[in-house]
Amino acid sequence: MFLQSQRMDILKITIPEQEILKILKFKEGNLAIIISGKNIGQLGKVINILKRFGPKASTVSIQHNSEHTETLYDYTFIIGEDQSEISLPKIE
């Protein structure tokens, strides 16, 4: 079976077999976590992806709670569609 994926899509696999269970597409509406920069660790729904070419970096807008955060495209990691596909530790 051949599954189509693109750059920035996330592959959910089994270990150690490395069988692909699911492809999480990098698209608006999916859940993401910011993995670098001053907003690291923020989790929310992708509401806009702005791809740019040239000196200005591509950006992603994420909504978490009632706030919106804009971060770099490369700082965004998709973790699920309607709900997270991974377990994250609780911050106290």
Residue 68 has pLDDT above 90, yes or no: yes
Provide the pairing of β-strand 76-80 with 67-72.
Answer: unpaired
CA–CA distance, 34 with 14 (Å, rounded to integer) = 24
Is the pTM above the cut of 0.75? yes
Q: Residue 89's pLDDT band (boundaries 50, 70, 90)?
A: confident
Q: What is the mean pLDDT of residues 87-91?
A: 73
d(CA 29, CA 82): 8
Whether pLDDT at 46 is above 90: yes
Fold of the CATH domain 26-80? SH3 type barrels. (2.30.30)
Q: Please give the pLDDT value at position 42.
A: 92
